[in-house]
Amino acid sequence: MITNTELEFKGDLYPSKIVSFEHDVDSVFFNTFNSVVLKITVVRDSLIRFRYTTKGYFSNDFSYAIDKSHSHGYNFLEVTEEAEYYQIQTSKLKCVIQKIDMRVSIYDLNGNVLLEDELGFHWEESYEYGGNIVKMSKASKDGECFYGLGDKATQMNLKGKRLENFATDQYAFQKDQEPLYKVVPFFIGLQNKQAYGIFFDNTFRTFFDFCHERRNVTSFWAEGGEMNYYFIHGPQMEDVVTSYTDLTGKPELPPLWALGYHQCKWSYFPESNVKEITSKFRELKIPCDAIYLDIDYMEGFRCFTWNKEYFPDPKRMVAELAEDGFKTVVIIDPGIKIDKEYAVYKEALEKDYFCKRADGPYMKGKVWPGECNFPDYTNPEVREWWAGLFKELISDIGVKGVWNDMNEPAVMEVPNKTFPMDVRHDYDGNPCSHRKAHNIYGTQMARATYHGVKRFAYPKRPFIITRSAYAGAQRYTSSWTGDNVATWEHLWIANIQVQRMSISGMGFTGSDIGGFAEQPSGELYTRWIQLGVFHPFCRTHSSGDHGDQEPWAFDTEVIDITRKFVNLRYQLLPYLYTMFWQYIEEGIPMLKPLVYYDQSDIQTHYRNDEFIFGNQILVCPILEPNSLGRRMYIPRGQWYNYWTNSLVIGGKEIWVDTKFDEIPVFVKAGAIIPKYPVQQYVGELEFDELTLDLYYKEGKEKSVVYEDAQDGYDYKKGRYSFLTFRVTGKEKELNIQLHKEGKYDTNYSKYKINLIGFPFKVKSIEIDNEEVLFDRVKFEEDNYLIVGKEFNVLHIIGE
Ligand code: GLC
């Protein structure tokens, strides 16, 4: 038995001997002599919840993170009692609970230890606040790696780190700085090439220690609330991440335009300035779908008002922008200006919707408008009211998206940058202090905003973006990584943050391209946009106090490269949309760090820079000035260099040459990559063919393409098109089998298939077993085929 004198010295308490247990359907309760109860619930065969109380009974079970529609149900559950321990077995796992001290070990059915308690559950009583500081420590093996936890600005592999979760407005944060804006208390452990996950669903300030304080010990603890965590069995990371995402929920599809390029600055005003920006995009032919209005569009920063001097007729302006293909997105912050003449303030005051201090006064704090009160979004009635406030913006004025900021919540000119901890919250009928509600505040604001925008945008889809978030926020909103800086180091951070968010269930994320604070050089901006177009959310934003950050703020070379990469993103929209579909359907992360892509290759365990965009495109940013290429790891398999079409065999680190207008991009052999023509905005063009880039492979590969009406909810009624292409390549032939699902008929009638990397000359082509004529001369020049979209089998035969 391990004893920890240091912890005991601090006054830690431990469960004593188990004296009884009860089994009730999917849950088993273990009671100790000193009133600790451990409730183990089998959610699924591979997903087990552990909940502890030290007072002999549990408080109300309530979570903002868990999606009520998550899957549950198991195939097998057996509880047995042995002399020294109890055992719970499912069809995937075995969980052993020691009678003497309640320590838990989890095994797979082959008897391999997946995770075991070191000290296990222990706690410290909190005299000041009541309740406990709840702690858990697990034994960690040599070579174990850790991933996840949301927006942490540190290496992908968290081994050796201690991290803190407390939503914080961290302007110009630095590498390794803690804590940041978001709180996702979920991590993935990888040990012995097997992955598991832990989701510690506790909204208090939490900490995770991955062998930082003590070698071979992983621990996590919270300043209050319950020790309440879920163990998620892999063995693949994909199993862990998709189960976690199922548990905490998936978003709906965004409108396709939201996957286009967005332009933002603090702030574009007045109207003429906004129009100058949007016209310039069209003039320079750099695609753009969304233009943002930051806080200056409001009257004295009062949410839901307009500065009529800058924007005399917002409805007309928004309509004119829409005619040119621009969707207007506006910022809405939580701070409501204390102003007796201001309708939103008056109504909230009248209805008693603002957060209060412990002894009664309203929580007052300074934000952009000066002294503000703050709605308590943890009150369902307040959320309903807030949702209703969007009527004018969305229904009448025609705004298409809402940007929620400062919702950590941020307060200016106070040392802790946020509310005092005594502030009271409703917490959906579980009244509590800010200690418990702090980390969830931003998510509840985004949730209320989402419901409002959705209500008034219907039958179109809403678009919401938030800065602060807790696990589960992905059900309502996209996010960005906050106030970064225009430095090379921040480009490195952005790359990791977005990958990490992706495997933490919150994939619809991007960084402020070019950096928010300070001024990027043309080179840095270029390298950033080259990465940013491969992020699910793609927006340039800057604080505006150092000059401009539109592409044309730099020289023509930068403008041209920006156009080239934004064009590429627009071409890849069907590919991007398909990965979004796989995310909302199956919880599959849109970006896959290399370790996720191939966990059995230990070379991937400490990689940071390379990632898989979707399923078949490998991307690696250039992160240093004056680079003519870089070293990078190519994961196992065969990959085509996107720029040169030359084939590389992976499983090794190589040097890749690039020019200033390229970053390393590789396509998996056998892949079919769907492309649209370049459009200046989504829906600009009608086109009659879908381009398919087909990369030859000797062997098999599957590719899928999801499409629908690009907005609206018909897809939920089956009106979508889902194409599965199965490629089988041999030495002198290649076969494509096409399978279609869904009731949506795409507008185009044919495919233009680009043949890439074919080692043979094409002799003949058969469609559904019939030889078809093709223009050989033309084909040999252009290397593509045009075929009607209604085929089942396409057979390309070589000579
Ligand atoms: C915060 C946001 C930033 C925004 C600014 C003004 O700093 O993070 O994106 O531009 O506030 O609203």
Question: What's residue 6's pLDDT?
Answer: 46
pLDDT tens per residue, range 77-126: 999 999 999 999 999 999 999 999 999 999 999 999 999 999 999 999 99
Residue 8 has pLDDT above 70, yes or no: no
Nearest CA to ligand 1 atom 7: 483
Q: Exactly one of 151, 483, 550, 662 is catalytic; which is it?
A: 483
Catalytic residue of the set 408, 523, 701, 707: 408
Residue 546 pLDDT: 84
Q: Which residues in 210-241 are b (16+ Cβ under 10 Å) and which e?
A: bbbeeeebbbbbbbbbbbbbbbbbbbebbbbb
Give residue 775's pLDDT. 80
Q: What is the mean pLDDT of residues 229-249?
A: 98
Closest residue CA from atom 4 of ligand 1:
266
Please state the pTM of the whole predicted model: 0.97
pLDDT recorded at residue 11: 83
Q: Is the CB of 467 under 6 A from ligand 1?
A: yes
| Rounded average pLDDT over 659-676 | 98
Split at pLDDT 50, 70, 90, the class of 7 is very low
In this predicted model, what pLDDT tens digit does every residue of 533-586 receive, in sequence order? 999 999 999 999 888 999 999 999 999 999 999 999 999 999 999 999 999 999
Ligand 1 atom closest to the Cα of residue 295 is 12
Pocket probe for ligand 1: among 331, 332, 542, the residue whose CB has the most ligand atoms within 8 Å is: 331
∠617-687-680 over CA atoms, to 5°? 70
Neighbouring C-beta atoms of residue 137, cutoff 10 Å = 22
Cβ-Cβ contacts under 8 Å for 644 (sequence gap 6 or more): none
Read off the tokens for 457: 């945008």
- Which residue among 292, 483, 542 is best mutated to probe the pocket of ligand 1, counting the most ligand atoms within 8 A of its Cβ? 483
Reply yes or no on whether 178 is catalytic.
Answer: no
pLDDT score at 367:
98
CATH class of 4-248: mainly beta
Rounded to the nearest whole angstrom, what is the distance from the C-alpha of residue 698 to the centroid of ligand 1? 51
Q: Taking residues 125-134, what's their average pLDDT?
A: 96
> Is the pLDDT reported for residue 3 higher than 70?
no
How far is the centre of ligand 1, averaged over its atoms, from the C-alpha of 289 (Å)?
A: 20
Closest ligand 1 atom number to CA of residue 483: 8
Q: Which two tokens stand for residue 177?
A: 């700085």
Q: Three-state SS string across 681-732, please?
A: CCCCCCCCEEEEEEECCCEEEEEEEEECCCCCCHHHHCCCEEEEEEEEEECC
CATH 2.60.40.1180, domain 689-798, yes or no: yes
Q: How confident is the model at residue 2 (pLDDT cuts 50, 70, 90)?
A: very low
- At residue 779, the pLDDT reads 83
CB 752 within 8 A of CB 720: no
Measured CA to CA, the distance from residue 249 to residue 150 in angstroms comes to 15
Tokens linked to 538? 């793609």
Listed by start position, the domains of the chain span 4-248, 259-480, 483-507+522-685, 689-798
Question: CB of 246 closer than 6 A to ligand 1?
Answer: no
Ligand 1 and 482: CB distance under 6 A: yes
The tens digit of pLDDT for each residue in 446-455 reads: 999 999 999 9
Which residues have C-beta within 8 Å of that of residue 422, sequence separation ≥ 6?
357, 358, 359, 433, 434
Q: Quick one: fold of 259-480? A: TIM Barrel (3.20.20)
Q: Which of 182, 516, 545 to mutate to test the pocket of ligand 1 (most atoms within 8 A of CB)?
A: 516
Fold match, 4-248 / 483-507+522-685 = yes
Count of CB atoms situated within 10 Å of the CB of 735: 16
4-13, 233-242, 426-435: lowest mean pLDDT where? 4-13
- pLDDT tens for residues 275-303? 999 999 999 999 999 999 999 999 999 99
Reported as a pLDDT band with limits 50, 70 and 90, residue 10 is low
Average pLDDT of every residue of the chain:
97
**For 497-525, what is the mean pLDDT?**
98
| Most ligand 1 atoms within 8 A of CB, residue of 170, 180, 294 to mutate | 294
Confidence of residue 774 (pLDDT cuts 50, 70, 90): confident
Check pocket membership of 266 for ligand 1, CB cut-off 6 A.
yes
- Percent with pLDDT over 90 in the chain: 97
Q: Which of 569, 560, 485 is nearest to 519 (CA)?
A: 485
598 is catalytic: no
Ligand 1 pocket residue status of 515, Cβ below 6 Å: no
Nearest-angstrom CA–CA distance, 214 and 211: 5
Burial degree of 199 (CB within 10 A; 0-12, 13-18, 19+): buried
CATH number of 483-507+522-685: 2.60.40.1180
pLDDT at position 5, please?
46
Active site residue 585: no
| CA separation for the pair 620, 752 (Å, rounded) | 28
The per-residue pLDDT for 651 is 98
pLDDT tens per residue across span 68-78: 999 999 999 99
Cα–ligand 1 centroid distance for 53 (angstroms): 41
**Each residue of 673-691: pLDDT tens digit?**
999 999 999 999 999 999 9
> Rounded CA gap, 714 and 720, in Å?
8
**Does the beta carbon of 501 lie inside 6 Å of ligand 1?**
no
pLDDT at 49 over 80: yes
- Convert the pLDDT of each residue in 163-179 to its tens digit: 999 999 999 999 999 99
pLDDT-based confidence at 128, cuts 50/70/90? Answer: very high
